[in-house]
């Protein structure tokens, strides 16, 4: 009895030990999933490119990253990090080296005052950025916060501008990104200063994505915050005019850590930005949001069509 | 430009198979991330649970507090657990791995203790009588007999972990969960469905594989009451 | 470096305490009481629905001792049920809120959340009810039959009371899973205590994230303990399940699945 117990005991332990060994090997193999670095002749810098958490921004970061990769830089992507509050911190921390941002939003986050003019906003941004961070020249495209209502709502309350929203706001429900109430360009300080909208209820949904769209469609909210350049805007949505100029020139810029920045990188990014017109940006965004194509592929096709990759 | 891209995919169909076809690389990458995370948590959990459980089964006084504390911790929802660590470890893999290891640990400690407790007293005494030293007794007699319960624990832990990993996508670490969030942000059902099905499939396969391991390891236990 | 970290930690906890001390955080739609009630409301309703669905099926199947393999496999799959996927798909399919009026009056602010929670809560109740019923001693059943009880009477007067501990354990497991997953629903625009976590993440406010985590953890623990007390009260003394390390089916409550 002892002998068979011994054998069975050993068998049990052995089987478990082998299983665990296999598991450890699997884990080790799976962990070291670094892509094989193809040895190119030029040894250029390795860069971490991050992206914000909505389609338009992801296309930007992919475009910048792939354009750089085409010139020999080793790019690693960290996608979907979050809004400016999160990703800017990641940049200053060194977790990422570069990401696609919107200059008006960033300037506001840095407590600056953007205007509706791209050049003055850019100049102001350069002043506000710490010495360790640089921003590329802005692209012509714009992607700003838009206050949208359904056509039926606009007709009912005679809404054309955001100012016309003010008297009826207390009867209406608003939906936007979770960070909206603390964002000056959304429902925060600057908006309150210019328009002073007080809604019946403010729902925290998502950054210009399907939750806000669906909420607007089914009447859960009356006014929705979507992005004019990269959200899916349905034909029956009405964009309320920003008559008091709350929204700044929110042009795409690449924000980079100065320590990795070079003249070549700047020139590559400038070329990408130069090709990003309002129309182009919009088309790209819809390809991602509407046609469900990957930002990666959309950016690649865009770069190729402009001879940048 | 569109000709380079193709026609796009159908957002509202539950599975658009053309998307699946075009994205096999991405799917397998996410799957691998998912497996690695769950596996690491399982292994780390086992490494901590074994000595802890052996200690608890020896020093009976420690058992009730260990079980109560682990029971309480187990109740904490995973999003909360990841969120607890976020201020300290940031958006890194550790923020996901530490709580996952903790959950794995909690399940495993209980089951290892059950296993060790299940060793008949006569066997222990017989071993003592035959001159087995305490370490030899543990390794050659008690642990082998505890293997069915240990494997039952590993099964539960593995399947539970596979189900928990997606939540970590909310802090940027989620394997198949990242696929779910990506699809969601674009109003695109297919990635979500595919990811969901794969999570379940992974759990079922893992469970079956571990049942096999259990049968191989302890054939004598087959006829007695096997943990469901 | 060590003391600096400790000081940083104490500093942080100081902020957390300040957050709780701030009166604003206890009023209105984003205040603690409102969100706690909202959280509990949908959890309770979803759990009730799940019980209404799962209990009869489990009772009948268990009594007839049919479909055992299914019920037990259900339990294992249930542990890995991707509730995040269900939640996200439900939102894409049904939109974010505005459930049929009847649901709204009962306090369900979000139909997709409700669906996901019910889907999540059914397996543990179903499995445990089945196993509890099927596991009743054959001798007991036969004795009851011998005494002239009909099938229904055996179910009601013998099997059900004996199965009750396991059934209650299943309900407890479901309850904690539901409360936990309701936390997740804040990601899709719902409210509840998860709101603090999601909003804190969105604006990188670590204090708020931590506060949310704390409150959610506390709520889950309270629910688990409360139901434990209910279990002890409801199940007759002789049938109490002693608190043992868990065998495979009588699950300890599970953390949030996704």
Q: Quick one: pLDDT at residue B10?
A: 86
Split at pLDDT 50, 70, 90, the class of A199 is: very high
Instruction: Rank A99-103, A287-291, C120-124 by mean pLDDT and report only the highest.
Output: A99-103
Q: What is the CA radius of gyration of chain B?
A: 22
Q: In the predicted model, is pLDDT for residue C71 greater than 80? A: no
Any B CB within 8 A of A32 CB: no
Nearest one of A134, A138, A137 to A261, comparing CA atoms: A134
Helix (H, G, I), strand (E, B) or coil at A135: strand
Residue B140 CA to residue A6 CA, distance in Å, equals: 7
**Among A241-255, B187-201, C119-133, C241-255, which stretch is predicted with the lowest mean pLDDT?**
C241-255
Q: Quick one: pLDDT at residue B196?
A: 94
Any B CB within 8 A of C169 CB: no
Residues 114-153 of C with CB under 8 A from B: 131
Residue C252's closest chain B neighbor by CA? B71
Residue A34 CA to residue A29 CA, distance in Å, equals: 10
C partners (3+ CB pairs within 8 A) are A, B
Q: Quick one: pLDDT at residue C105?
A: 56
Q: Quick one: pLDDT at residue B228?
A: 38
Q: In the predicted model, is pLDDT for residue C196 greater than 90? A: yes
Per-residue tokens: A305? 């069509």
Which neighbouring-strand residues pair with A99?
A50, A255
pLDDT in tens, A68-115: 999 999 999 988 888 898 899 889 988 899 999 999 999 999 998 888
Residues of C in contact with A175 (CB under 8 A): 189
Backbone CA torsion sign across B3, B5, B11, B13: positive
Residue C205's closest chain B neighbor by CA? B87
Q: Can you tell me which residue has the tokens 């059934």? A: C167
pLDDT in tens, C19-59: 999 888 898 888 999 999 999 999 999 999 999 999 999 88
Q: Quick one: pLDDT at residue C256?
A: 43
Residues of B in contact with A287 (CB under 8 A): 2, 5, 8
Query: Are the beta carbons of C158 and C141 closer than 8 angstroms?
Result: yes
Parallel/antiparallel/unpaired status of strands A98-102 and A46-52:
parallel
Cβ contact, residue pair C86, B164, below 8 Å: no
Split at pLDDT 50, 70, 90, the class of C5 is: confident
Q: Quick one: pLDDT at residue C1?
A: 63
Q: Please give, rounded to a whole number of angstroms, the shortest distance from the CA of C64 to a CA of chain B.
A: 19
Q: In what order do the strands lie in the sheet with A173-176?
A: A201-204, A173-176, A223-227, A145-150, A237-239
Which fold is adopted by the domain C33-239? MetI-like fold (1.10.3720)
Q: In the predicted model, is pLDDT for residue C97 greater than 70? A: no
Split at pLDDT 50, 70, 90, the class of A32 is: low
Q: Quick one: pLDDT at residue C104?
A: 60
User: C-alpha angle with apex A281: A278 to A282, nearest 5 degrees?
Assistant: 85
Query: Are the beta carbons of A9 and A37 closer than 8 angstroms?
Result: no
Q: Quick one: pLDDT at residue B221?
A: 57
**Among A132-136, A228-232, C135-139, which stretch is predicted with the lowest mean pLDDT?**
C135-139
* Mean pLDDT of all residues belonging to chain A: 88
- Provide mean pLDDT across the span C241-247: 41
Residues of B in contact with C81 (CB under 8 A): 163, 200
Instruction: Rank A97-106, A240-249, B131-140, C109-118 by mean pLDDT and report only the highest.
Output: A97-106
Q: Please give, rounded to a whole number of angstroms, the shortest distance from the CA of B131 to a CA of chain C.
A: 31
**Among B39-53, B63-77, C180-194, which stretch is predicted with the lowest mean pLDDT?**
B63-77
Q: CB A45: neighbour CB atoms within 10 A?
A: 15
Residue extents of the structural domains in chain C: 33-239
Residue with the bigger pLDDT between A41 and A229: it is: A229
Q: Quick one: pLDDT at residue B131?
A: 83
Q: Quick one: pLDDT at residue B147?
A: 85
Q: Quick one: pLDDT at residue B4?
A: 65
> Which are the contacts of C44, defined by CB distance < 8 A and separation ≥ 6?
none
- Provide mean pLDDT across the span C135-153: 84
**Among A74-83, B83-92, B192-201, C203-212, which stretch is predicted with the lowest mean pLDDT?**
B83-92
Cβ contact, residue pair B43, A304, below 8 Å: no
Q: In the predicted model, is pLDDT for residue B53 greater than 90? A: no
Cβ contact, residue pair A218, C95, below 8 Å: yes
* Mean pLDDT of all residues belonging to chain B: 85
- Provide mean pLDDT across the span B215-220: 77
Q: CB C54: neighbour CB atoms within 10 A?
A: 26
pLDDT in tens, B144-177: 888 888 888 999 899 989 989 999 998 888 789 9
Cβ contact, residue pair B189, C252, below 8 Å: no
Any A CB within 8 A of C96 CB: yes
Q: Quick one: pLDDT at residue C254?
A: 44
User: Which domains are present in chain B?
Assistant: 24-221 (1.10.3720.10)
Residue with the bigger pLDDT between C154 and A267: it is: A267
Residue A78's closest chain B neighbor by CA? B172
Residues of C in contact with A210 (CB under 8 A): 91-92
Q: In the predicted model, is pLDDT for residue C255 greater than 50? A: no
- Provide mean pLDDT across the span B187-199: 94
pLDDT in tens, B87-135: 788 778 888 999 999 999 888 988 888 888 888 888 888 888 888 887 7
In this prediction the ipTM stands at 0.84
Q: Quick one: pLDDT at residue C55?
A: 92
Residues 101-120 of A with CB under 8 A from B: none
Work out the percent of chain A whose per-residue pLDDT is above 70.
91
Q: Quick one: pLDDT at residue C245?
A: 34
- Provide mean pLDDT across the span B73-92: 83
How far the first Cα of chain C sits from its last, in Å, is 38
Nearest one of A282, A276, A286 to A63, comparing CA atoms: A276
The backbone torsions φ and ψ at residue B138, rounded to the nearest 5 degrees and listed phi first, read -60, -50
Residue A17 CA to residue B43 CA, distance in Å, equals: 12
Helix (H, G, I), strand (E, B) or coil at A199: coil
Report how many Cβ contacts below 8 Å link chain A to chain B. Answer: 122
pLDDT in tens, A53-68: 888 899 999 999 999 9
Query: Are the beta carbons of A61 and A69 closer than 8 angstroms?
Result: no
Q: Quick one: pLDDT at residue A21?
A: 78
Any A CB within 8 A of B88 CB: no
Residue with the bigger pLDDT between A188 and B174: it is: A188
Q: Quick one: pLDDT at residue A17?
A: 75
Nearest one of C178, C177, C214, C203 to C42, comparing CA atoms: C178
């Amino acid at each position: 009895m002892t002998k068979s117990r011994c054998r069975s005991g050993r068998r049990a332990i052995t089987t478990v030990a082998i299983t665990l060994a296999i598991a450890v090997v699997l884990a080790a193999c799976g962990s070291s999933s670094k892509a094989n670095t193809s040895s190119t002749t030029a040894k250029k810098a390795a860069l971490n490119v991050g992206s914000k958490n909505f389609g338009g921004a992801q296309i930007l970061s992919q475009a910048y990253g792939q354009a750089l990769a085409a010139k020999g830089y080793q790019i690693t992507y960290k996608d979907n990090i979050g809004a400016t509050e999160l990703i800017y911190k990641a940049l200053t921390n060194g977790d990422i080296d570069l990401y696609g941002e919107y200059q008006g939003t960033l300037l506001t986050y840095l407590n600056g005052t953007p205007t509706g003019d791209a050049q003055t906003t850019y100049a102001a941004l350069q002043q506000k950025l710490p010495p360790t961070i640089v921003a590329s020249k802005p692209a012509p495209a714009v992607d700003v916060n838009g206050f949208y209502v359904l056509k039926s709502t606009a007709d009912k309350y005679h809404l054309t501008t955001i100012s016309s929203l003010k008297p009826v706001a207390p009867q209406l429900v608003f939906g936007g990104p979770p960070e909206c109430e603390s964002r000056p360009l959304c429902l925060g300080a600057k908006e309150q200063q210019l328009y002073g909208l007080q809604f019946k209820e403010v729902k925290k949904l998502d950054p210009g994505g399907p939750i806000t769209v669906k909420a607007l469609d089914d009447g859960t909210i009356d006014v929705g915050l979507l992005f004019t350049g990269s959200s899916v805007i349905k034909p029956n949505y009405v964009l309320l005019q920003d008559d008091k100029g709350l929204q700044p020139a929110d042009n795409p810029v690449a924000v980079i850590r100065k320590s990795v920045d070079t003249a070549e990188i700047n020139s590559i990014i400038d070329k990408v930005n130069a090709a990003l017109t309002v129309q182009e940006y919009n088309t790209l965004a819809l390809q991602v949001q509407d046609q469900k194509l990957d930002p990666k592929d959309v950016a690649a096709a865009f770069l190729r069509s402009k001879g940048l990759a | 430009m569109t000709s380079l891209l193709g026609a796009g995919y159908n957002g509202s169909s539950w599975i658009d198979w053309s998307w699946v076809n075009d994205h096999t690389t991405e799917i397998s990458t996410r799957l691998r991330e998912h497996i690695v995370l769950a596996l690491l948590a399982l292994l780390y959990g086992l490494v901590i649970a074994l000595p802890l459980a052996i200690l608890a089964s020896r020093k009976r006084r420690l058992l009730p507090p260990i079980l109560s504390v682990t029971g309480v911790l187990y109740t904490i929802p995973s999003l909360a657990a990841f969120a607890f660590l976020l201020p300290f470890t940031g958006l890194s893999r550790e923020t996901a791995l530490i709580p996952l290891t903790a959950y794995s640990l909690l399940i495993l400690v209980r089951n290892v203790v059950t296993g060790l407790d299940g060793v008949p007293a006569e066997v222990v005494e017989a071993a003592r009588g035959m001159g087995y030293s305490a370490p030899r007794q543990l390794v050659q007699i008690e642990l082998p007999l505890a293997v069915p319960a240990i494997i039952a624990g590993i099964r539960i832990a593995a399947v539970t972990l596979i189900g928990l990993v997606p939540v970590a996508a909310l802090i940027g670490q989620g394997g198949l969960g990242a696929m779910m969030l990506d699809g969601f942000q674009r109003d695109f059902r297919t990635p979500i469905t595919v990811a969901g099905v794969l999570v379940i499939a992974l759990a079922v396969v893992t469970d079956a594989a571990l049942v096999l391991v259990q049968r191989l390891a302890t054939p004598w236990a087959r006829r007695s009451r096997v943990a469901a | 470096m060590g003391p600096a970290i400790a000081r940083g930690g104490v500093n942080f906890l100081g902020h957390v305490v300040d957050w709780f001390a701030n009166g604003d955080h206890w009023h209105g739609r984003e205040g603690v009481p409102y969100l706690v009630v909202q959280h509990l409301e949908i959890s309770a309703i979803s759990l009730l629905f799940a019980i209404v669905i799962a209990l009869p099926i489990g009772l009948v199947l268990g009594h007839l001792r049919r479909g055992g393999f299914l019920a037990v496999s259900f339990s294992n799959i249930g542990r890995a049920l991707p509730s995040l996927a269900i939640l996200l798909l439900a939102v894409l399919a049904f939109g974010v809120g505005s459930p049929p009026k009847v649901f709204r009056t009962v306090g369900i602010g979000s139909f997709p959340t409700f669906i996901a929670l019910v889907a999540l809560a059914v397996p543990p109740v179903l499995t445990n009810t089945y196993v509890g019923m099927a596991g009743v001693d054959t001798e007991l059943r036969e004795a009851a039959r011998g005494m002239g009880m009909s099938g229904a009477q055996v179910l009601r007067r013998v099997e059900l009371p004996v199965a009750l501990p396991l059934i209650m354990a299943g309900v407890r497991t479901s309850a904690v899973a539901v409360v936990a997953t309701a936390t997740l629903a804040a990601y899709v625009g719902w409210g509840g205590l998860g709101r603090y976590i999601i909003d804190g993440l969105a604006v990188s406010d670590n204090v708020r994230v931590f506060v949310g985590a704390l409150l959610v953890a506390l709520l889950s623990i309270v629910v688990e303990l409360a139901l434990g007390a209910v279990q002890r009260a409801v199940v007759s003394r002789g049938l109490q399940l002693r608190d043992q390390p868990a065998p495979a089916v009588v699950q300890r409550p599970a953390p949030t699945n996704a």
